[in-house]
Structure formats: structure tokens, C-alpha cells
Structure 1
């Protein structure tokens, strides 16, 4: 077991991390908003953790708090991501569809340019030598960090979907005008979903900085936005398990097929194409459709008359 974790521990943690990023995008989609901003908040959270864990000005605080410094970075990243998500979400979520997607992509690009031009973020080089969380010696031990976060996120999402807020989000997603007419304020719930996704992405970024040991502007890019969207679409955008399954699958396939060299990227692309064409509801949606019991077939009028005829 130890050999297995030593070999595949990094991959397993990365799969869980990808699932969490997919879930951060799942929340805006619950309100029918195609947001691609999650990698931006993910990068912001990572920079918060990297700066707090390496900057000389905070050395005294790190010595005082010890391992409690790591949870503090999560809290600070969550707060900053939530505030920025609120500031961005209020004007941006007045847009819809592709216009909202373009606006959130622009937001990610702006954050990347800012990170490249600030000295505190290390510029293009980034921040190196980030200490390992809680003194972990092996990368698989980060399952003790990402695993509980994934479990709590799934439980929170499940309860949210069953609550009044979840029903309001579904109403906004299905028909925004009808929801507004029924007294459900669309902007309020769209901003709420956007902020929840931003907070989750920021926490994941703060946890990922020590895991990767380095952080730079490559963490939040347009490519990362598209990859995160693929996690949700391939796994299934109408189920909370969809982003988890999609993130795990699309992260694992290139690594498992590494022995095929460059062909592994071709196969990964084929998986995306096939899933998009033949699984429009995602992998989880297709499995739910297969396992859902079929309704009983009622006989037609002709068959009913034939049965009662003597």
C-alpha cells in the first residue's frame, strides 16, 4: 500500500483537486451562469498562501502560529476570494451566456497580468520554496487536507440543492424571467452562487500552493478555465458528482497513458470529443439514465378494447 501511494499519491491528490475545481464551477452553473472565473480565484488563493508562508515580513507570525498558519491562509484566501467574487459578480452577472463567459475569461487574464507585474508575487518567475503543509513528507498525505474538503463540499452542495436556496437556483437556471415573476430575485441568487464558487476555488488554491511547492502566473490561465469547464461538462453539469467524476477522469487519463508518449494527448482529446457527441448529459447523467427504472407501459385504447372483448 505504501508503494502504491508513493507512486500514485500525487496523481490521486491531483484528481481530488480537479474535482474540487470542477465543483467551484458547478455552483454558478446551478444558477444557469456560464462562468469561467474559477482558475482566477484559484490562482488568487495560491498567491495568498504562497506570500503568507514565505514573505520575510510574516516570519514572526509564522513562528508564533506554527502549523496553524496553514488554516489561516485558507481563511484569508476564502475571504479575499469572496470579496473579489462579490465585486466582480455584481456587474458581470448582469451578462448572460457567451458574454458572461468572455467577461470571466477577461477577469482571469487581468489577474494573470497583475500577477506577472507585481514584485510580491515574484513576477514571471513566481514564488518558490513554499513549505509543506503540516510538515508532510509525502505528497499523498495531502489527501488528509483535500479529502475532508471534498467531503464537506459534497455534503454542503447536497444540502444546498435540497434547500429553498437550491430550488431558487434551479428556478433561475430554468427560466430567469419566470423566477423573477414568482418573487425570486435572479441577481441575488446568481451572485450568491458565484461567490460560493469563488470561495471554494480560493481555498483549493491556498491548499495547493504548499502541495506544489511553487506558485506562478501559469496557475490561472485561459487554458485552465477551459480545462475546468471540461471537468463539469464531461462529468455532467446537472449532478454534483459530475464535476468530481469529470475532473478525476480527465486528470487521470493523460497520466495513466503516459507510456504512449505524445499519443496520450490524442487519446485524451478523443475522450473529450466522444463524450461531447454521445454523452450530452455527461458521464454521470448517462449512468443515471441507464439505472433509472423505466415507467410501466400502459396499453393503448385498441389494446384495452381487445382485452375486454368477449
Structure 2
């Protein structure tokens, strides 16, 4: 078991991390919003944690709190990303479709350029030597952070779907004008979904900074936006398990096929193309459709007295 975790522990944690980032995009999609801003909030959360854990200005806080500083970084990242999501979401979410996607991509690029030119973020070099959370010795131990966060996020998403807010999200996604006519304020609920996704991405970033031991502007890029969108689309955007399955699959395939060198990227691209063509509802959506269309089992008739094999 120890050898398995030593070899594949980093990959397993990365798969869970990818699922969480997919879920951060899933929440705005629940309200019908194609937002690609998750990498930006992920980068901000990581920078918050990296600065608090390495900057000399916070040396006294680190000494006084010890390991208690790590939960504080998660809370700080959640608050900052939530406020930033509110500030960005109120004007941006008045846009729809491809225009919203372009606006959120611009937001990610603005954050990337700003981080490249700030001294506190380490500029283009970034921040190095981020201490390991809770003194972890091996990377696989981060499953004790990302795993519970994934479980809590899935439980929260399930309860949200069953709540009045979840029903409002679905109404807006299906027909925004009809939802507005029925008294559901679209802007309020779209901003709420956007902020929930921002908070989750920020917390994941704050946990990921110690996990990666370094943080720089490459963490929040346009490429990352497309990758996270692929997690959701390949896994399925109408089920909470879709982003988790898509993130795990698209993270694992290139690593497990590393022995094929550059051909592994070709295979990863083929997976994306095939899934896009033949699984429009994603992997989880296809499995659900298969389960619903399976013919019901024929009930067995009770055997009559004196007759073998059931029906005479």
C-alpha cells in the first residue's frame, strides 16, 4: 500500500483537485451561466495562502498560530474570492452566452497580468518554498484535505439542488425570461451561483499552494479555463458527479499513458473528440440515460402447486 501511494498518491490527489475545480464551474452552469473564471479565483486563493505562509510581514502570525494558520488561509481565500466574485459578478452576469465567457476569460487574463507585475506575488518567478500543510511528509497525505472538501462540496451541491435556490437555478437555466416573469430575480441568483463557484475555487487554490510548494501566474491561465470546462463537459454538466468523473478521467489519462511519450496527448485529444461527438450529455449523462432506457425486469410468476418451473 505504501508503494502504491508513493507512486500514485500525487496523481490521486490531483484527480480530486480537478474534480473540485470542475464543481466550481458546475455551480454557475446550474444557473445557465458559461463562466470560465474559476482559474482566476483558484490563482487568487493560492496567492492568498502563499503570501500568508511565506511573506515576512506575517511571520508573527505564523509563529502564534502554528498549524492553525492553514485553516485561516482557507477562510481568507474564501472571503476574498467571494467578495471579488461579487464585485465581478454583478456587472459581468448581465451578459449572456459567449459574451459572458469572453468577459470571464478577460478577468482571468487581467489577474494573470497583474500577478506578473506585483512584487508581493513574486512577479514572473512566483512564490517558492511554501511550507507543507500540517507538516505533511508525503504528497498523498493531502487527500485528507481535498477528500473531505470534495465530500462536503458534493453534499452541499445535492442539498442545494433540492432547495428553493436550486429550483430557481434550474428555472433560470431553462428559461430566464419565464423565470423572471414568475418572480425569480435572475441577476440575484446568477450572482449567487457565481460567488459559490468563486469561493470553492479560492479554497481549492489555498489548499493547492502548499501541495505544489510553489505558486505563480501559470496557475490561472486561459488554458486552465478550457481544461476545467472540458472536465464538466466530458463528465456531464447536469449531474454533480459529472465534473468529478470528467476531472478525474482527463487528469488520469495523460499520466497513466506517460510511457507513450507524446502519443499520450494524442490519445487524450481523441478522448475529448469522441466524448464530444457521441456523449453530448457527458459520461454521467450517458450512463443515466442508459439506466432509464433499460427495460424493466419481467416479474417471476409463482410456481403452481405440482408444476415445476413457474408458468405451466
TM-score > 0.5, shorter chain as reference: yes
Post-superposition shift, 1:291? 1.1
Which position in structure 2 is the counterpart of 1:232?
Answer: 232
State the TM-score, normalized to the length of structure 1.
0.95
SS in 2 for 1:268: helix
SS in 1 for 2:280: coil
Instruction: Map 1:129-144; keep pairs closer than 5 Å.
Output: 129-144=129-144
Q: Does 1:292 align with 2:292?
A: yes
Instruction: Map 1:65-76; keep pairs closer than 5 Å.
Output: 65-76=65-76
Q: Does 1:191 align with 2:191?
A: yes
Q: Structure 2: how far apart are the matches of 1:82 and 1:126?
A: 23
Which position in structure 1 is the counterpart of 2:113?
Answer: 113
SS in 2 for 1:292: helix
Q: Structure 2: how far apart are the matches of 1:211 and 1:81?
A: 20
Q: Structure 1: how far apart are the matches of 2:170 and 2:70?
A: 36
SS in 1 for 2:25: helix
Q: Structure 2: how far apart are the matches of 1:80 and 1:114?
A: 16
Q: Does 1:42 align with 2:42?
A: yes
Post-superposition shift, 1:13? 0.2
Post-superposition shift, 1:292? 1.5
Can you list the C-alpha shifts for 1:152-172, whole angstroms capped at 9, x where unaligned?
Answer: 000000000000110000000
Cα distance change of structure 1 residues 165 and 282 upon mapping to structure 2, 3 Å threshold: same
Q: Which runs of 5+ in 2 are unaligned?
A: 297-312
Q: Which runs of 5+ in 1 are unaligned?
A: 297-310
Post-superposition shift, 1:272? 0.2
Which position in structure 1 is the counterpart of 2:14?
Answer: 14
**Aligned pair count?**
296
State the TM-score, normalized to the length of structure 2.
0.94
Instruction: Map 1:1-310; keep pairs closer than 5 Å.
Output: 1-293=1-293
Q: Structure 1: how far apart are the matches of 2:69 and 2:123?
A: 24
- Structure 1 residue ranges, 4+ long, deviating more than 4 angstroms after superposition: 293-296
Q: Structure 1: how far apart are the matches of 2:47 and 2:164?
A: 35
Q: Structure 2: how far apart are the matches of 1:222 and 1:57?
A: 32
RMSD: 0.8
Q: Structure 2: how far apart are the matches of 1:132 and 1:161?
A: 35
Q: Structure 2: how far apart are the matches of 1:294 and 1:155?
A: 28
Post-superposition shift, 1:294? 5.0
